[in-house]
Amino acid sequence: MTSQPLHIHDDKIAHLEEKANEIRRDLVKMLEHAGSGHSAGPLGMADIFTALYFHVLNHRPKQPNWKDRDRLILSNGHICPIRYVCMAHAGYFPKKELMTLRRLGTRLQGHPEKDRLPGVETTSGPLGEGLAQAAGMAYAARMNDDTWRVFCVTGDGELQEGICWESLLFIAKEKLANLTIIVDRNQIQIDGFVEDVTGEEPLRDKFESFGFHVIEIDGHNIEQFVDATEEARAVYKKPSVIIANTIPGKGVDFMEKKFEWHGKPPNPKEARSALAQLRTLGGTIQSEHE
């Protein structure tokens, strides 16, 4: 999957939408099988990660360390199940390995580990560190006149960490236009709704006051997201932030907008109900449900 024009036509959008729901189905199966892991955030980010891995990123799954690849940093590492499923579908590792999520010795840890899984750029865990790592990578790329870009996914709850705003100050000061930050604005965190816990609005104004080019989108509209990444590429005097408004638990009615599903997997009965709701051509992982 090498560099390509980002213009996206209707057939490709429809294909990506179908792929995103297929990925959601495999995500549910994986989480139910593991009996552990996060549901709400990964389901909410399925459309964006599908667009990244199957249209936006310049990458080669069979050459995960290709030097000219775009770097995708997952700062809120707990939503890694959606990254794992997309990576498997893209060909980084066999899809059957998804059923080893969080098992002893697996490459698919509860937070991504760089040394375990090729194609993962950083080891994540402490919230906020991914933004700092992305800043360093983008700065190094510019120093070396490299053409690859850095994409950093962060969560709105994660933005409560002080290290995030220290990193954002550096990114803005250095005008790291080769870095695009994607904020999963799903409004929830483990203890409740983000605005009830600390309150971050007006979030757009805060980013703009720091010196960022800000694009706000519907995080479930793949065309909007692709257009936003293209717009970010065209802005070369300042870094860009895409605020993606998403619904946690997207596609599963009993999970949607429920912070209780932040870090909870579905049980077998819940998984069957979730799979029934996710209309698609069908998943690719065989499980006890199919």
Domain ranges of the chain: 10-277
Q: Provide the CA 250 distance to its chain's centre, in angstroms.
A: 14
Please list, in sequence order, all residues whose beta carbon lies within 8 angstroms of the beta carbon of residue 228, skipping any fewer than 6 positions away.
215, 217, 242
User: Can you tell me the distance from the alpha carbon of 21 to that of 75, in angstroms, rounded to the nearest whole number?
Assistant: 24
Question: How many of the other CB atoms lie within 10 Å of CB of 35?
Answer: 12
User: Can you tell me the distance from the alpha carbon of 139 to that of 141, in angstroms, rounded to the nearest whole number?
Assistant: 5
Q: Provide the CA 48 distance to its chain's centre, in angstroms.
A: 6
Classify strands 188-189 and 240-245 as parallel, antiparallel or unpaired: unpaired
Residue 183, H or E segment: strand 179-185
pLDDT at position 125: 81
pLDDT at position 132: 97
pLDDT at position 189: 81
pLDDT at position 156: 93
- The DSSP secondary-structure symbol of 130 reads H
Task: State both tokens at 247.
Answer: 């619904």
| The CATH number of domain 10-277 is 2.40.37.10 | no
pLDDT at position 188: 80
Which ranges of the chain would DSSP assign to H, the alpha helix? 10-34, 40-44, 46-51, 80-90, 129-143, 162-173, 194-197, 203-210, 222-234, 268-277
> What pLDDT, in 10s, does the model give residues 216-225?
999 999 999 9
Based on its alpha-carbon atoms, the radius of gyration of the chain, rounded to whole angstroms, reads 18
Q: pTM of the prediction?
A: 0.93
pLDDT at position 197: 87
* Sign, Cα dihedral of 210, 183, 159, 135: negative
Under DSSP, is residue 150 helix (H, G, I), strand (E, B) or coil?
Answer: strand
User: Can you tell me the distance from the alpha carbon of 271 to that of 284, in angstroms, rounded to the nearest whole number?
Assistant: 15
pLDDT at position 280: 53
Question: How many of the other CB atoms lie within 10 Å of CB of 4?
Answer: 9
Residue 23 contacts residue 98 (beta carbons within 8 Å): no
Task: State both tokens at 226.
Answer: 């692709």
Task: State both tokens at 246.
Answer: 């998403």
The segments of the chain whose pLDDT lies below 70 read 1-7, 280-290
The set of long-range contacts for 163-171, using a CB threshold of 8 Å and a minimum separation of 24, is 163/128, 163/129, 163/131, 163/132, 164/128, 164/131, 166/132, 167/128, 167/131, 167/132, 167/134, 167/135, 168/131, 168/207, 168/210, 168/212, 169/210, 170/135, 171/131, 171/135, 171/138, 171/212, 171/239
